[in-house]
Amino acid sequence: MAETERWLVVGLGNPGPKYAGNRHNIGFMVVEALAERRRDRWKAHKVHAEVAESRVAGTPAVLAKPRSYMNLSGGPVTGLSRFYKVPMERIVVVHDDMDIAFGAVKLKRGGGSGGHNGLRSITASLSGPDYLRVRVGVGRPPGRMDPAAYVLKDFSSAERKDLPLEVERAADAVEALIGEGLERAQNVFHTAS
**In angstroms, rounded to a whole number, what is the distance separating the alpha carbons of residues 184 and 177?**
8
Backbone angles phi, psi at 132, to 5 degrees: -85, 150
Residue 80 · residue 8 · CB < 8 Å: yes
Q: Is 48 designated active site?
A: no
Residue 170 · residue 26 · CB < 8 Å: yes
Q: Distance of CA 99 to CAs 37, 45, 53, 137, Å?
A: 29, 32, 31, 7
Cβ burial, residue 52 (10 Å; 0-12/13-18/19+):
buried
Q: What is the 3-state secondary structure (H, E, C) of 49-111?
A: EEEEEEEECCEEEEEEEECCCHHHCHHHHHHHHHHCCCCHHHEEEEEEECCCCCCCEEEEECC
The one catalytic residue in 24, 45, 95, 116 is 24
The three-state secondary structure class of 134 is strand
Q: Hey, which residues are catalytic here?
A: 24
